[in-house]
Structure 1
Amino acid sequence: MAETVLSRGLDPQGYIAREGSLARVPHDFRPVAAAARDRILELFGARLHSAYLYGSIPRGTARVGRSDLDLLVALYEEPTETDRADGRVLDEALDREFPQIDGGGTLMVSRARVLSDLETYDLGWFVACLCTPLLGEDLAEHLPRYRPDSLLARETNGDLALALPRWRERIVSADDSDEARRPLVRFMSRRLVRTAFTLVMPRWNGWTSDLHEMAEAFGGYYPQRAQQLRTAAVLGYEPTGDADVLRTYVDDLGPWLADEYARVHGIKAPRPD
């Protein structure tokens, strides 16, 4: 059967299509995915509900030696601090053993949280649309289908204003070196580009995870900020350690984006944590 042709990441009914699959994992990364699957099962055993890949590896766009390994593990019960520590040990072990990845991270969640009403349009959407099943029952079977609407925009990225004070603290506490600042530039660049994209997502009527495509979509509606977003998209893939970039993010682009987001879509529902 021929593969369905997607329009801007949407299926023929206008819902966001799941963006990755195990079939798209590049050949060089398949041993990494297999090792992650086996070790997650060894670590969590009967407590494991399901596990997923997300990011560039299941999308088929990963670059050898440059891309990280992104995992999500859903347990039957709420993860403990020991579980989270085990996840970090797993990340470090895989990073040491497989030179084709450049770091990684494992998100730890509970089945109940993914399926909760509060998380339906945030974590639930993330699992259903951006995560590729690796182990266990797919939680997407219990979740709705999603359109690129204002509700989804608000609940995924409507909390940037809360993040900015924490970003400022991280910048102040970071070592005064390019090496220390580079991960911050990468992280903040990606978050700002994704937030800017979801600001215009309902008008653009589609979904993409490509930072450059996100920046171009945003620029069509906010030309006065378009170049800032194009630059941030580049830095999301190839970060520098420029302190001026970080200052611009928390003193100019970030506050403007948070205010505009609240005006257009409102504020994300508060989370207990």
Structure 2
Amino acid sequence: MAESVTRKGLDPQGRIEREGSLGRVPRAFRPVVASARDRLLGTFGARLHSAYLYGSIPRGTARVGRSDLDLLVALREEPTDADRAGARALGEAVDREFPQIDGVGTLLYGRARLLSAAETYDMGWFVACLCTPLLGEDLAEHLPRYRPGSRLARETNGDLALLLPRWRRRIAEAADTEAARRPLVRFMSRHLVRTGFTLVMPRWNGWTSDLTEMAEAFGAYYPGRAEQMRVAAARGREPAGDAAVLRSYVDDLGPWLAGEYARVHGVKGQDLDLDLDLH
């Protein structure tokens, strides 16, 4: 245990270890995973290249009745509208069948896109380090081994400035109720905490998906914003649909974080030298 904590999610060579495994799936969620696996095969058939779990269920930290099932599906071709409709129907069916989950989210990508140069530091890294193989050939075999460097930080979360206008529109268009705002608070809180963490990730020199650890790592380098990030981490776990919270995210914490990110790491998509381990 002490050794894994010291390495902070890295292997002995300083590369990010893959988090999660099927062996860590809590017993209560194993029937959910089995049902999703079978439904994926029935929904996509020969178009399916591979499928993955990610999030709290394969990390072993899922909470019954609170956690959702997160899936990533790689198709042999780019997904179609029919594929997206099939994924939605699959998620709705699994969500209805199993009360221990609170929703199903499915990301759909074509195999070629996930392995493209443009996605190497974004969705490629996501598959290689944050996804647990469930079906098919593991695309991680075709991807690099990653270190927690500046380019990884930039390509995973260096687009916050572009997202903020969309967030403002989503807030404006949401119904003026606590229930309608709650998922926005949850989503934006988690995104800001993860962005804050990846801002400091190269200096912290490690990886974690735990929101509390992310906020604490960030706070060690930005004490003036530490409490904001700790509160955001708490809201990411237990959100309340407070309109003032959403305004603070898009008017204060978000713009500051986007500016600091650009200053430290640059803007996503910049053509800078690679800092991954290709061996």
CA distance in 2, matches of 1:161, 1:5: 34
Could you say which residue in structure 2 is the equivalent of 1:164? Answer: 164
Unaligned runs of 5+ in 1: none
Could you say which residue in structure 1 is the equivalent of 2:22? Answer: 22
Could you say which residue in structure 2 is the equivalent of 1:240? Answer: 240
Matched, 1:132 2:122: no
Greater shift, 70-79 or 86-95, is seen at 86-95
Once the two structures are superposed, the pairs formed by residues 167-182 of structure 1 within 5 Å of their partners are: 167-182=167-182
Once the two structures are superposed, the pairs formed by residues 70-149 of structure 1 within 5 Å of their partners are: 70-149=70-149
CA distance in 2, matches of 1:225, 1:19: 28
Alignment-mate amino acid for residue 21 of structure 2: S
Could you say which residue in structure 1 is the equivalent of 2:204? Answer: 204
CA distance in 2, matches of 1:51, 1:118: 21
Identical positions, percent? 78
CA distance in 2, matches of 1:258, 1:85: 34
CA distance in 1, matches of 2:176, 2:39: 37
CA distance in 1, matches of 2:252, 2:82: 39
- Superposed displacement of residue 161, structure 1: 0.3
- Superposed displacement of residue 5, structure 1: 3.8
Secondary structure of 1:74 counterpart:
strand
CA distance in 2, matches of 1:131, 1:108: 13
Once the two structures are superposed, the pairs formed by residues 183-202 of structure 1 within 5 Å of their partners are: 183-202=183-202
- Superposed displacement of residue 43, structure 1: 0.7
Secondary structure of 2:74 counterpart:
strand
CA distance in 2, matches of 1:30, 1:69: 11
Alignment-mate amino acid for residue 196 of structure 2: A
Q: TM-score by structure 1 length? A: 0.97
Alignment-mate amino acid for residue 50 of structure 1: S
Could you say which residue in structure 2 is the equivalent of 1:253? Answer: 253
Unaligned runs of 5+ in 2: 271-279
RMSD after superposition: 1.1
Alignment-mate amino acid for residue 261 of structure 2: Y
Q: Which digits, 9 at most, give the CA deviation of each residue in 1:40-86, with x for residues without a partner?
A: 00111111000000000000000000000000000000000111111
Alignment-mate amino acid for residue 261 of structure 1: Y
Q: TM-score by structure 2 length? A: 0.95
CA distance in 1, matches of 2:48, 2:164: 34
CA distance in 2, matches of 1:188, 1:198: 15
Secondary structure of 1:11 counterpart:
coil
Secondary structure of 2:11 counterpart:
coil
CA distance in 2, matches of 1:91, 1:57: 15
CA distance in 1, matches of 2:67, 2:11: 27
- Superposed displacement of residue 27, structure 1: 0.3
Secondary structure of 1:254 counterpart:
helix
Q: Which digits, 9 at most, give the CA deviation of each residue in 1:107-159, with x for residues without a partner?
A: 00010000000000000000000000000000000000000000100000000
CA distance in 2, matches of 1:225, 1:84: 39
